[in-house]
A = this chain, B = another copy of it.
Amino acid sequence: MQDTAIRYQGRFLRLIERDGWEYIERTNASAVAVVVAVTDDDHWILIEQHRPPLGQAVIEMPAGLVADIVGAEDEDAVEAARRELLEETGYAAAEISFLTAGPPSAGQSTEIVSLYLATGLRRVGEGGGDASEDIIVHRVPLDDADAWLADKAAEGCAIDPKNYAGLYFARRLRK
């Protein structure tokens, strides 16, 4: 029999203890949709934003919570991917396809991240995120992405390791 207890219930996260393990789950979202966005001229769309937990700017792929909008709890993850890409980067995608889904931090969180490939991109806005976000959009030549990430790290940005998963899928697309 498993002994599961909620040790803290916050607005966005709850901390759970189960059989001696401590972990968190989100209170307001079922998953995170992350977008590997590649333009027709082989540029990869990344974002840079300040992340309060780290107190640092982080280089990430466009992403957002699935079903985090009140009244849209049934929103499909593909639509979340499409919406976040548009809001954060200003790019509309003709095609969105599923790549993989899984737990990026299985030892401490129930979080599931789903990666989607976005192609047929058309810039229709400035991006920058919603009212609570302040996002810089980067358009990185796919062939130079590895060096570009290393340069951003040297500048003091944190680099989400998932970016290299994105780079794997972006390069696979181009083979």
Contacts and interface: CB of A to CB of B under 8 A. Distances in A.
A105 B100 contact: no
A33 interface: no
A9 to B, nearest CB: 9
Interface residues of A, number: 56
A148 interface: no
A79 to B, nearest CB: 20
Interface string A79-111: 000000000000000000000111111111111
Interface of A: 7-8, 10-13, 15-19, 21-26, 32, 34, 51-54, 58, 60, 100-113, 115, 146, 149, 153, 158-165, 167-169, 171-172
